[in-house]
Amino acid sequence: MTESTLTREQEDRFQTLAASSYKKVFSLAYRLSGSRTDAEDLTQEAFLRAYRGFESYQGDRPFENWIFRIVTRLYLDLRRRTNRRVATVSYDAPLRPDGSEDGVYFESADHSPSPEARVVEQHFSPELEASLNALSPEQKSLILMADVQQIPYAEIAEKLNTPVGTIRSRLHRAHRQLRSSIEELRRQMKPCPAS
């Protein structure tokens, strides 16, 4: 790791801003990832990157928005890496060439719903829930920020470092896809008239 080039005053300011926003940053990372471990990693990496790039931080903008953008980008990078990686594991294959199993334990995947999924299950109809889950992670995230959390478009645009017009058009497409999916599900669930 390289030596810090921040002045003492900049370091103090960063520490103050980081301490005041830590819980919100962790909360965002947790909502995005649905995993405490991933949220801790995302939060740590976000603050590390923010510290390294603090000289470029423009003090006229809210620090939270700046670091939220960093967390969101890190999360999207994590999703891309995870989606590219396909690992096959055989529970039948020996773990070591010599066949010994000293201290080796399997952990099955945690299939319990994420906090985000629990909110969706508790407050949304089955059609809406299924349709939301059919969206891409980016579309679902946009809809949850805009429609559930009621975050203004300008703030979403700033968090994602994307123009407001782009956010509006992406949300419009996501809403259109969501409506179409719900209508299709309702058509499929409608009883057929007796002949």
Identify residue 3 by its one-letter amino acid code: E
**Phi, psi dihedral angles at 101 (to 5 degrees):** -125, 25
The residue ranges of every structural domain in the chain are: 7-82, 117-190
Q: Is the dihedral of CA 51, 49, 43, 155 positive or negative?
A: positive
pLDDT at position 68 is: 87
pLDDT at position 135 is: 84
pLDDT at position 94 is: 52
pLDDT at position 49 is: 92
Work out the average pLDDT over 8-19: 90
Asked whether the predicted pLDDT for residue 86 surpasses 90, the reply is no
pLDDT band at 45; cut points 50, 70, 90: very high
Instruction: For the beta carbon of residue 134, count every other beta carbon within 10 angstroms.
Output: 15
Work out the average pLDDT over 155-174: 90
Q: How far is CA 44 from CA 4, 22, 34, 96, in A?
A: 17, 10, 16, 34
pLDDT band at 1; cut points 50, 70, 90: very low
Question: For the domain 117-190, what is the CATH code?
Answer: 1.10.10.10
Q: What is the mean pLDDT of the chain?
A: 78
Cα–Cα nearest to 89, from 102, 103, 101, 107: 107
Q: What is the pTM (predicted TM-score) of this model?
A: 0.45
Work out the average pLDDT over 49-57: 87
Burial class of residue 94 (count of CB atoms within 10 Å of its CB; 0-12, 13-18, 19+)? exposed
Question: For the domain 7-82, what is the CATH code?
Answer: 1.10.1740.10
Tell me: the pLDDT tens digits for 89-127?
555 555 555 555 555 555 556 666 655 555 545 556 667
Asked whether the predicted pLDDT for residue 33 surpasses 70, the reply is yes
Asked whether the predicted pLDDT for residue 59 surpasses 90, the reply is no
pLDDT at position 98 is: 55
